[in-house]
Structure 1
Amino acid sequence: MLWHLSGASPKTGPSRELFNGSREYVSVEEAFIPKDQRVSRELVPEDHKAPLDFQEVFGNDHPVELEIGIGKGLFITHAGMHFPESNFIGIEIRRKYLNKARERVEKRPLANVRLICGEAFSFMEEYIPDASLAAIHVYFPDPWPKKRHHKRRLFDPTFMKETFRALVPGGHLLIATDHAGYWEHIQEVLQHQEYLIPSERLPEPPGKEEDLTNFEAKYKKEGRAIYRTGYRKPTEAP
């Protein structure tokens, strides 16, 4: 299961829960697992040495991607289904959404997804190893539009430095938002950082006929513009 940071303040500590889906990969078309047969493996981060050993968490050495602010879990579920040779961690600070995402994931036998309810930045700092993530997905984070709340926004120089630390060389940061004001803020942060470089890869749904997230589906129906960008960590140190 994945995790997503919806623009929350990094002052709150990470969650104590790490949830896993079921065992086997199945195609999107296959039937859901009966409720009484679903598997939920819970891992407590404190039970593991920090940073996490992804080999221990997933039982393999496949590439690991992180989604910050997973909402109801549409993207991470589809990503886990379409890309069984990759592992996905999703974080969501709001319990009610995390519960919906967890139910969505556990309907399908996905061994390559983990979910966490908690604050993303603190979790990254403590539990994500250096140069360990193939991608970080941040889709429709909370824009915190009121000026007095701007300090709670996810994107700032500190987050960019942490992203650089966590990504593997060549790893991607993929971003989407519908909020024009927050988009301008994100662009300003990206233009004034020296860690990542622009990438041709942009956010896209795992499947051709799917929406990126529930928010994207909603905003497309409303006719809102969707802003997307992609950056990557250089393969060689500057």
Structure 2
Amino acid sequence: MVIFPEYELKPQQFHYFPIDWSKIFENSNPIHVEIGFGNGEYAAYYCKQYPEINYIGFELSITSMIKAQKKLKKDNIKNAKLILVDGKFALREFFDEETIEKVIMNFPVPWYKNSQSHRRIILKEFFEILSVVLKNGGCFELVSDQEWYVKEAKENAQSTGYFEVFQIEKNPPREFYTRYEKKWIKFGRDIFKLRIKKIKSGRIERLIGGVQEMPHAKGKIDITKINSLKEAVFKESDKIFIVKGIYKDINSESYVIKIISTDKDFVQHYFLCLYRKDNEWILKLDSESNPYRTPAVKWSVKKIMEVLS
């Protein structure tokens, strides 16, 4: 939800990746990224304290996006952009090699249970991504009230061989304390900080890159097969998609198909539009849901048309 459009970006509408951030900010200032900006307290302070940097924040909560935009507007911040997106996906897909000076994570969700461990952002793959997008000498800082989580992050960073990994600091001095952080300290909870510095570049595979074309398909189909798609699951390598719903326009030969797709661990919800034009049927992405054009998204268009043909 856009409250102040000067702050929120929607990269899924962009036509080329990685993003040229110098065009977005209209300068070549150093890029600092915060993963999980919460209500925007830290972002507003950080941008005001360091006007010489370009700040980019990632979040998954619409509520947080609204609160953060309000805080940035109140402080008349000029050097910040906010995006609703998974942070690991964004780091891997939005940034060219060696373009980020610093990445910050303040109190990420630790996902305590073993069954949830795959959802933790600080897995080895995350640090492999950092090794590519961070500048040589660029740093990553993690702050958490969960010591085990910080230790796990340290071990995963060390295992890559791409970083100088510093000792974990307990209750380090902080230039800014958020409202929740002050509350935790008041109740006697310890705070732990990990800092690492890039010394070597790794390699990664990206899901998207280059020109982003709108996937579509057209041809002759047997429309009587469409109901067989409901709840169908399709899987190929790291690509999966599920047909969650099919809706027909009562006044025309057109349909909307609800899809949930997954590329490795990146999940998207979107709609496909199917309609007749002359003697052919056309299947394409719905412009409102507008997902990132990942391999699973492109494949869902191709595969559904194949099944109906």
Interval containing the TM-score (normalised by the shorter chain):
0.7 to 0.9
Among candidates 163, 185, 188, match of residue 152 of structure 2: 185
Among candidates 129, 141, 144, match of residue 108 of structure 2: 141
Judged with a 3 Å threshold, the aligned counterparts in structure 2 of structure 1 residues 204 and 169 are, in CA distance, closer, same or farther, namely farther
How much has 1:147 moved relative to structure 2? 1.3
Among candidates 27, 43, 56, match of residue 9 of structure 2: 43
For residues 73-112 of structure 1, the aligned pairs below 5 Å read 73-112=40-79
More RCO (CA 8 Å, sep 6+): 1
Judged with a 3 Å threshold, the aligned counterparts in structure 2 of structure 1 residues 47 and 58 are, in CA distance, closer, same or farther, namely same
Aligned to 1:222: 187
Aligned to 2:270: none
With normalisation by structure 2, the TM-score equals 0.59
How much has 1:123 moved relative to structure 2? 1.4
Inter-partner Cα distance in structure 2 for 1:232 and 1:41: 29
For residues 134-173 of structure 1, the aligned pairs below 5 Å read 134-173=101-140
Indicate if the aligned counterparts of 1:40 and 1:106 stay in contact, CA closer than 8 A: no
Indicate if the aligned counterparts of 1:195 and 1:233 stay in contact, CA closer than 8 A: yes
How much has 1:80 moved relative to structure 2? 0.5
Equivalent residues, number: 199
How much has 1:219 moved relative to structure 2? 1.5
AA aligned to 2:90 is F
Indicate if the aligned counterparts of 2:30 and 2:100 stay in contact, CA closer than 8 A: yes
How much has 1:217 moved relative to structure 2? 2.1
Indicate if the aligned counterparts of 1:20 and 1:115 stay in contact, CA closer than 8 A: no
Structure 2: which 5+ residue stretches go unaligned?
Answer: 203-309
How much has 1:174 moved relative to structure 2? 0.6
Inter-partner Cα distance in structure 2 for 1:134 and 1:167: 6
AA aligned to 1:158 is E
Judged with a 3 Å threshold, the aligned counterparts in structure 2 of structure 1 residues 48 and 57 are, in CA distance, closer, same or farther, namely farther
For residues 3-14 of structure 1, the aligned pairs below 5 Å read none
1 or 2, which has the higher strand percentage? 2
Larger radius of gyration: 2
Deviation string for 1:32-58 (max 9, x for gaps)? xxxxxxx73543313252111111111
How much has 1:146 moved relative to structure 2? 1.1
Structure 1: which 5+ residue stretches go unaligned?
Answer: 1-16, 22-38
Indicate if the aligned counterparts of 1:94 and 1:117 stay in contact, CA closer than 8 A: yes
With normalisation by structure 1, the TM-score equals 0.76
Aligned-partner SS, 1:43: coil
**Given the alignment of the two structures, is residue 231 of structure 1 paired with residue 230 of structure 2, yes or no?**
no
Cα-Cα RMSD: 2.5
Aligned-partner SS, 2:72: helix
Judged with a 3 Å threshold, the aligned counterparts in structure 2 of structure 1 residues 42 and 140 are, in CA distance, closer, same or farther, namely closer
How much has 1:20 moved relative to structure 2? 10
